[in-house]
Amino acid sequence: MSAEHTQRLAPFSRGQCIVLGCLAAAPLLERVIPSLQLSSPLRTVIVFAIMALGLNIVVGWTGLLNLGIAAFAAIGAYTFGILTCETYPFQVGFWWGILLAGIVGAFAGWLLGAPTLRLRGDYLAIVTLGFGEIVQDGLKNLEVITKGTQGINPLPAPSFFGTVLTSENNVQWFYLYLAILVVIVWLMRNLEFSRLGRQWFAVREDELAARCMAICPDKTKLKAFAAGAAMAALSGALGASLLSSTGEPSNYDFQISILALCIVIVGGIGSITGVLLGAIVMVGLNVVVLPNIAESLQRNGIGSTSNVFSAPNNYKFLIFGLALVLMMRYRPDGLIQTKKAVRS
Amino acid sequence: MSAATTFTNTASTSANTGATPLLEIKGIVAGYGRVEVLHQISLTVNQGEIVSLIGGNGAGKSTTLMCISGILALRGGEIHFAQQRIDGTRADKLVARGLVQVPEGRRIFPRMTVLENLMMGAYCRNDRAGIAADLEKVYALFDILKLRSTQLGGTLSGGEQQMLAIGRAIMSKPQLLMMDEPSMGIAPLLVTKIFEAVRALNQEGLTILLVEQNARAALRLSHRGYVLETGRVVLADESKRLLVDPRVLESYLGE
Ligand SMILES: Nc1ncnc2c1ncn2[C@@H]1O[C@H](COP(=O)(O)OP(=O)(O)O)[C@@H](O)[C@H]1O
Ligand SMILES: [Mg+2]
């Protein structure tokens, strides 16, 4: 057999090691610069990285545009909420909660995908967009179960070996989420080189050719949709645990879906390392860089919340937009470029 | 060309004796939307044969192959493969049973390497040893593919892509290989090479259904041929007779 198939796959690529390693080292910076807030906001980066890795299966690997990934995060968050919150009868723990959220998410992805995946690209995008809105409205109106705009709370923090984390343990919490991310990256890498991964690429490249290779495109797409939805739901559950609340349904709106899409595109569509980098850049800007700048400005008496122009957070979308335009101009394949054909 | 002539002569006799049908198409009707494209087409491919299906642009050749592959649903008629009825069976199941198509326009995976493309062909198989052997077979048939194995499919020339498409199909371990216009848009020298490879595959026992607009080359290579015109079989005969048939000469051989 060819070298490619006899060689054992390294658990992580070099790029993945570097990015994950840098993330792991980040809390050390906090020791050096005590005023720097890192481990707490980086948990949010991890939550978004997981969502974007899920979206990457659908958009990057299978070539389907999903504009409603946030809906699956919402489904995951609310599943986690209902299963773990003390006002409901189930009250499972954190770990069961995130696991079941992932499973319910996969099921939701399958339910949405089954009737709609035959639609051609742009129609599918519109359907997923609509689904994103419907889920928000549904959650808002199912008040009996979801508590409407109040959100479900309080929700459990992660616990391991008998210790329950609190807001005092941000660093441990960060490392726990990082460990979950590491496991997911390892899973994704194995998936990428698995039979299913090859199936996804084949369908992305050429559906008819894939059919000539004994691949059923419909089933293949459905698996991608379900896998992506499961990851998004997991990220939703992790995010909810972080806030100790599902938040209101409109927290999972189109902006979140677009942010996840931007992460995938900026990072380098199809590349796991790229998506991780994309999450660090896009979400990091949002939750680490801008708040830290704002804080230091305020400390020095330069910025004030009363002046809208002096609050860096208000430039968020301007910076996003600029970043996207610059990316499209100078690195249209993202920060990390997957191999591309010279001629097709 | 003398080799080709002797080949056809010996082949046509073997095709006449003790023929077991591998593929039988009985009066199939198919179309797109409201338009009926195939009107009651029947044809047979026997074990070990090369059969060519020739006809002008839009005659329905590709549509016929899509029906056989299970990608396009029939509106009438039956298809039997290896003594079993297969119409209505899903395309991916048919590939696993040995009914493999090299689609029109090659359709290799441009962003996968040559080796990855070939391995996609073996996607439906689990026999590692068999896959490795077939890979060597493909490399022996088209040595250029071995040289280019780590190159992206999309960077190959048209002729090389066609070789890759055929190689990929061979990796699926076909019993019947259907090729849709393998000579289309390819330099004449490479066409010769590809047709030689087709002959070599057939001599190893592979049954082939060859769709071509290049009627002369296809008929020289095949044992029998069918001529398709606007969705109907208008002529069916041994290839050597079709080559001198006045109707074929006039319409497809430009004489
Ligand atoms: N996907 C399609 N939708 C509608 N009509 C089609 C489609 N594919 C082919 N046709 C029509 O069917 C007829 C036969 O096409 P085809 O089988 O591709 O011919 P050939 O391969 O012999 O050139 C043509 O008239 C063509 O326009
Ligand atoms: Mg055609």
Q: How many other C-beta atoms can be found within 10 angstroms of the C-beta atom of residue B232?
A: 14
Supply the pLDDT for residue A339: 59
Distance B32 CA to ligand 1 centre (A): 8
Q: Is the pLDDT of residue A180 over 50?
A: yes
User: Phi and psi of B180, rounded to 5°?
Assistant: -105, 105
**Closest residue by CA, ligand 1 atom 16:** B60
Q: What does the pLDDT read at residue A340?
A: 52
**Which member of B93, B135, B155 has the closest CB to residue A342?**
B155
> Rounded to two decimals, what is the model's pTM?
0.88
Mutate which of A7, A201, A211 to test chain B, going by most B C-beta atoms within 10 A? A211
Rounded to whole angstroms, the Cα distance separating B139 from A223 reads 34
Q: Is the preceding omega at residue A154 within 30 degrees of 0, hence cis?
A: yes
What average pLDDT does range A155-182 have in this prediction?
90
The residue ranges of every structural domain in chain B are 3-251
- How much is the pLDDT for A144? 87
CATH code matching the domain that covers A3-343, chosen among 1.20.120, 1.10.150, 2.60.40, 1.10.3470: 1.10.3470
Mean pLDDT of A111-129: 90
Banded pLDDT at A286 (limits 50, 70, 90): confident
Pick from B65, B87, B62: which is nearest to B74 by CA? Answer: B87
By CA distance, what is A212's nearest residue in B? B101
Residues B29, B60: Cα–Cα separation, whole Å: 11
Nearest ligand to residue A208 Cα: 1
Percentage helix, strand, coil for chain A under 3-state DSSP, each rounded to 5: 75, 0, 25
Q: How far apart are CA A296 and CA A290, in angstroms?
A: 10
Which of residues B242 and A337 earns the better pLDDT score? B242
**CATH of B3-251 among 1.10.260.40, 3.30.460.10, 3.40.50.300, 1.10.8.870:** 3.40.50.300
What's the confidence (pLDDT) of residue A317? Answer: 79
Q: What pLDDT sits at residue A290?
A: 81
Residue B121: which of A213, A338, A343 has the nearest Cβ? A213
Q: What is the pLDDT of residue A2?
A: 42
B91 in A contact zone (CB under 8 Å): yes
**pLDDT on residue A149:** 87
Distance B56 CA to ligand 2 centre (A): 9
β-partners of residue B51 are: B209, B224
In which residue ranges of chain B is pLDDT below 50? 1-16
pLDDT for res A324: 80
Give contacts of B162 with chain A, Cβ < 8 Å.
none
Question: Is A28 or A162 the better-scoring residue by pLDDT?
Answer: A28
Q: Is the pLDDT of residue A124 over 70?
A: yes
Rounded CA-CA distance A319/A300 in Å is: 23
Q: Tell which residue, A251, A277, A254, has the closest CA to residue A266.
A: A277
| Ligand 1: lining residues by beta carbon, under 6 Å | B 32, 37, 55, 57-63
- Give me ligand 2 centre to Cα B105, in Å: 9
Separation in Å, CA of A266 to nearest CA in chain B: 20
Nearest to A105 by CA among A129, A137, A71, A139: A71
Interface of B with A in 172-191 (CB under 8 A): 172
- For residue A305, the model assigns a pLDDT of 61
Answer yes or no: do B90 and A339 touch at CB < 8 A.
no
CB contact at 8 A, B222 and B201: no
- pLDDT tens digits for range A35-71: 888 888 999 999 999 999 999 999 999 999 999 999 9
Burial of residue B164 (CB within 10 Å: 0-12, 13-18, 19+) is: buried
Q: Which ligand is in closest contact with the Cα of B31?
A: 1
Q: Identify the band that residue A240 occupies on the pLDDT scale cut at 50, 70 and 90.
A: very high
Residue of A2, A205, A212 with shortest CB distance to B115: A2
Query: Which residues have beta carbons under 5 A from ligand 2 (an ion)?
Result: B 62, 104
- How far is residue A119 from each of residues A127, A130, A332, B98, measured CA to CA in Å? 9, 14, 27, 30
- What are φ and ψ of residue A66, in 5° steps? -115, 115
CA–centroid distance, B71 to ligand 1, in Å, is: 14
In terms of C-beta distances under 8 Å and separation of at least 24 residues, what long-range contacts does A121-126 make, across chains too?
Answer: A121/A64, A121/A65, A122/A65, A124/A64, A124/A65, A124/A66, A125/A65, A125/A66, A125/A67, A126/A67
Quick: pLDDT tens for A188-198: 999 999 999 99
**Strand B50-54 to B224-229 pairing:** parallel
pLDDT at position A321 is 83
What separation in angstroms does the CA of B79 have from each of B26, B58, B75, B134? Answer: 6, 22, 12, 28
Nearest-angstrom CA–CA distance, B95 and B101: 8
